[in-house]
Amino acid sequence: MRAFTGEGEVATYIPELRRAAPDALGCALYTKNGICIGFGDKERMFTLQSVSKVVALALAVMDSGEDEVFGKVGMEPTGGPFYSMARLELMNRSKPLNPMINAGALTVTSMIGGRTATDKLERLLRFVRELTGNEQLTYDRAVAASELETADHNRALAYFLKGEGVINSDVEPLLDVYTKQCALSMTCCDLARIGFVFGHEGRSPETGEQIVPVPVARMVKTFMVTCGMYNESGELAIKAGIPAKSGVSGAILGSVPDGMGIGIYSPPLNEKGNSLAGVELLKRLSRHFHLSIF
Ligand code: GLN
C-alpha cells in the first residue's frame, strides 16, 4: 500500500500541512467489541481538516435543529471542489449547496451552540472528546494559526454569506472557530471510533449512551455517501460503498452502518483532493470484508 503514497501530492495551501511526512500511512479499524486494531503509522497525530465537517454538522443540528440548519444550507451534492464559490450564486440563490463544501461548512459552524467563539470551541471540544472517548483531545495550534493567516478564500466566502444574510455572526470569530475545528488533532484510532459511533446510530460503544440522536447519525452518513469525498463521491460509492469523509490533511473517516469504524491517514492526495493511498485502502477493505452498504 505504501507504494501509492509516492504518486500523490501533499497539500501545501495551508503552509503547516507542507510539513506532513509524505510516506506516512496509518489505518485503524474500530470493531464491535470496542477493540481498535491499528496498522502502520497508527500513533501519528494528524488534523481532521474537512473530516471535521461531519462532526460540526451533527453538533449544529443537535444545537440549532434541523429546520434552522437546512433553512440555510442545502442537501444536494455539488460534484465540484470544496472551495467552490461560483455555485453559490448560480445554482441555489446564495444557499450553499451542502454542508460538505466550505461555504456550507462555514454556515454550519456558525450554528454550533454558544454565545462567543470560546463557548462554541469548548462545546465542539467536549463533543469530539465524547465521540472519540479521548479526554485529552484538542486542536493543533500551529496548523490552526497557519490556516487562519492564509484563509483568504474562506474569509471571502464567509463575508459573502454574511452579506447575503446566510451567516448571522461576525466573520473573524467564526473563522477562528472554523480553523480550530479543522485543526482538531487525533490518531487513526480516535478517528475510527468516531466512525463507529456514527455507524451505530450515535451510541457510545462502552455505555450505549446516545451521544448523537439516531436521525442525526443517519443523516451524517447519508451526506458522507452523497458528498463526503467531493467529486469522487460517486465513484467511491460504487467501488467501496462505505460512507466516508476526507480532508486535505490526508485523513479519511469511514463509517459502516452496524459495522466497523475506519480511520485512515496518508497525506499525499490524488487530483480530487482525497488521500490517494487512503482511497485505495478503503476500496480494498470494502472488498476484503464485504463492507459495501449497497
Ligand atoms: N481547512 C480546510 C479548508 O477549509 C479544509 C479543506 C479540506 O480538507 N478539503 O480549506
Per-residue pLDDT of the chain (294 residues; tens, 9 = 90+): 666 767 789 998 899 999 999 999 999 999 988 899 999 999 999 999 999 999 999 999 999 999 999 999 999 887 677 776 656 664 456 688 899 999 999 999 999 999 999 999 999 999 999 999 999 999 999 999 999 999 999 999 999 999 989 999 999 999 999 999 999 999 999 999 999 999 999 999 989 999 999 999 999 999 999 999 988 999 999 999 999 999 999 999 999 999 999 999 999 999 999 999 999 999 999 999 999 999
**How many Cα neighbours within 13 Å face the side chain of 73?**
28
Indicate if ligand 1 lies below 6 Å from the C-beta of 139: no
Indicate if ligand 1 lies below 6 Å from the C-beta of 147: yes
Q: Going edge to edge, which strands form the sheet with 184-186?
A: 46-47, 184-186, 138-139
- Known binding-site residue numbers for substrate: 50, 102, 147, 154, 178, 230, 248
Architecture label for domain 2-289:
3-Layer(aba) Sandwich (3.40)
Residue positions annotated with a catalytic role: 50, 53, 178, 230, 248
- What are 101's three cell numbers? 463544501
Indicate if ligand 1 lies below 6 Å from the C-beta of 154: yes
pLDDT confidence of residue 87 = 61
Give me the amino acid identity at 198: F
Most ligand 1 atoms within 8 A of CB, residue of 161, 182, 253 to mutate: 182
Q: How far is the CA of 67 from the centre of ligand 1 (A)?
A: 26
* Nearest residue to 225 (alpha-carbon basis) of 201, 241, 204, 202: 241
Indicate if ligand 1 lies below 6 Å from the C-beta of 247: yes
Q: What is the Cα–Cα distance from 15 to 247, expressed in whole angstroms?
A: 15
Q: How far is the CA of 151 from the centre of ligand 1 (A)?
A: 10
- What are 149's three cell numbers? 493567516
ipTM higher than threshold 0.90: yes
Inter-CA distances, 67 with 71, 95, 111, 151, 240, Å: 6, 14, 12, 29, 32
Indicate if ligand 1 lies below 6 Å from the C-beta of 82: yes
In this structure, the dihedral spanned by the alpha carbons of residues 58, 216, 100 and 231, taken in order and rounded to 10 degrees, is 150
pLDDT confidence of residue 95 = 84
Q: How far is the CA of 15 from the centre of ligand 1 (A)?
A: 12
Most ligand 1 atoms within 8 A of CB, residue of 248, 253, 264 to mutate: 248
Q: Inter-axis angle of helices 52-64 and 214-227, to 10 degrees? A: 140
pLDDT confidence of residue 34 = 85
Pairing relationship of beta strands 36-40 and 26-30 according to DSSP bridges: antiparallel
Indicate if ligand 1 lies below 6 Å from the C-beta of 246: no
In this prediction the pTM is 0.95
Q: Tell me the three state secondary structure of residue 134.
A: coil
Q: Exposed, middle or buried: residue 136 (CB in 10 Å: 0-12, 13-18, 19+)?
A: exposed
- What are 73's three cell numbers? 444550507
